[in-house]
Structure 1
Amino acid sequence: MKIELLAPPYSGHLHPVLAMARQLQPHHEVTVLSTPGAQAAIGASGLHGEVLLCAEQEAALWQIANPPRPVKANPLRLHAQLRQALRLMEQMRGTLQQRWTIARPDLAIVDFTLPPAGLLAAELGIAWWTSLPSPCVLECADGPPPYLGGLSPARNRWQALQHAAGRRMTRLFKRGVHAWQRPAMRRLGVESIYRPDGSERVYSPECILALGVPELEFPRRWPAALQFVGPMLHTPPSAHPAPPFVPGARHLLVTAGTHQDWVKPRLAEAAAALARLYPQWQVHVSDGHQDSAATPVQALPNLHRLPFVDYARHLPGYDLVLHHGGAGVIYHALRAGVPALVFALDYDQFDHAARLQAAGAGLWLRDLQDLPAVFAAALRGDAFPGLAMLQASVRQHMAADAVLARVEALGR
């Protein structure tokens, strides 16, 4: 089969797509479509890539993903991001329409942040699936609604009513944005937000690949199209040296991923304060810049500032990780059996923090000022009772070529 996989250049979205492409490539004709800056990672992963957006459009994408300050619910910042995203999606749709008119794939696997690509595939009669690295963001008929600060399952009738109101508010908000931006939405092929059956039109009605394990998620009635296939973990090879692990010492990794540079100086300050409190711990702070040529900096005898840490290769060497709640680092840590402190910053990260804490595999750090107390709590022997179970589930899911099996079934 001829299969095209589409993703933005962000690591949390591109790397899972690369993992799927590597699983499919020995058996099918596979192409990964992304931006110019993503081509090096695609090639280093042994895959064939082609450019979907130009360099100028890629720069605009990074402005959306890596703003100088948090977006959260600020209406002006959300509005600016939405207008910019809609323009980019329209340009992407035009490029894809030209491409697929000339040469159609048999299947398109589309990251959930690029819904116009899936809708265009449907218009052209091309089978399309959604790649969803954060299943928690999907709307369901029950359970805690996403994007509302990390809600947990209702424990009483009052909380159940609050959740129902939150789900309704979310739908009203999405419908309102669609009505407000109706001309742009129609140009993208989004005639409505919801299908007659209530499912979200921007996700594939045939197959939503949930790149996680159900044991981490809160109980909900998932859409029929959703299929848990386990996390897709892959880090393209890089030339960065291994972190300076000290034999016999305990090690903490502090990372906010590849985005959200606005918070990294604050994280580095908090890490330095913690390193002074715990001189027996080695503290590594990652800037998350894989393409950086910067050299590591030793700020204190037990504090190192590193340009990049490869999760796939080096995360198993740590005893604890402080991260932002991105899906990629969550599942890398779970696979390695490393407990987490989660300092959520934006988007779905609060929902991830709530799930990790409820599962007994992480502690939610709500304020950096509380880091010493939360770190001390993490050192207790019973701080992470659910970690071993989740680690076993992640490894079991990753042992199966679940995406390949579903593609083979589609081919048959």
Structure 2
Amino acid sequence: MSAQGRFHSLDSFRGLFALSVVGYHLRVSGSFTELAFFRHAEVFVAFFFVLSGFVLAHAYGNSAQFNFRRFFISRTFRLLPLHLFMLAVFIVLEGGRYIAFQQGMEFNNAPFTERYAPAEILPNALLLQSWTHWTNPLSFNYPSWSISIEYYTYMIFALLLSIAAGLRQWVWAALVVAALGLMHVGNGLFTIEALRGLAYFFTGCLIYTLYLKLAHFERPGFWLMSLLEVIAVAAALLFVVSDFEAKALVASPLFGSIILIYAFDGGAVARVLTGRWFALFGKLSYSIYLTHAAILFCVVSAFMLIKKLIGIDIAPMIDGTRYLDTGSALANNLVALLVVAMVVLVSMFTYRYVEMTGQNLGRALANRPANKSPVLES
């Protein structure tokens, strides 16, 4: 960790795992996207939740003068601008699909139906789609299901900061145990998405309290930290590619342990992760995560159009999933790499012009005195 309080290797992990989620959603026959690692990469969303809890506990958990107004504005303008931008993009794309449908193009479902139904727009705009049993968490920009959970979990976290520090950690622990327990036994009140988010996020908060305690002790040497980092990566890889019933429960403590190890930025792997490209992916991680579904939509639609024009099935349906397939393993891998590169390039644009614009506006609003009123000139 630097003097400025940034956890550089953890930022890089966020970027790498966001790219892994892109690989999970991208299906290109015979390419690297079909490796077991990418076929199970959806589990990295749990890492995002745990890391968010850790980072917010670092930023606000020990603040003597917590300002809820500033927190609300800061978090809202951190998440909402890009989310609303991508929701608008998906509505436009669905409009394009409607026009193509009217021209005889065939799709898996009719435009503006099912998860693209107009009734899903308002819950998405309010980030409520993952909190109720009456809305589809995967509607429109489907990766935003986790942003829905994360946003309101931020607010729960902020409310809990009013509790005395000694009791606060016990409340966090109780929330983790209750959420994990309800995930295991099942319930009809809370959505599984909400339970996952709460359990993982507050695990991150608890991991940060442990990090603070360990920071008072003498730090292990470079080589021991390097060994721990390698073991952590190996454990993560084994966990990701494995299938077992309690995987969702194990994700919480496993990712928490990995975050704890890398938070010290003390070993060889952590040093590698501070490299320029890894840092770039970390910076772009939110844009990568929220933009990739729209880009995949456009790429798949382009392949379907080409299929219609040339009469060769380069966008086959396999077990209910749309694949891309040029007929060549080399070409398919190139297609997959180009799509990932396209996601990164688009994310550079959205980061600069949407994310940063929103964050700058949020800072301006947050720093404005709450009781400031306009002066009337006579």
- The TM-score, its normalising length taken from structure 2, stands at 0.28
Greater RCO structure (CA 8 Å; 6+ sep): 2
Larger strand proportion of the pair: 1
Structure 1 or 2, whichever has the larger Rg, is 2
Larger helix proportion of the pair: 2
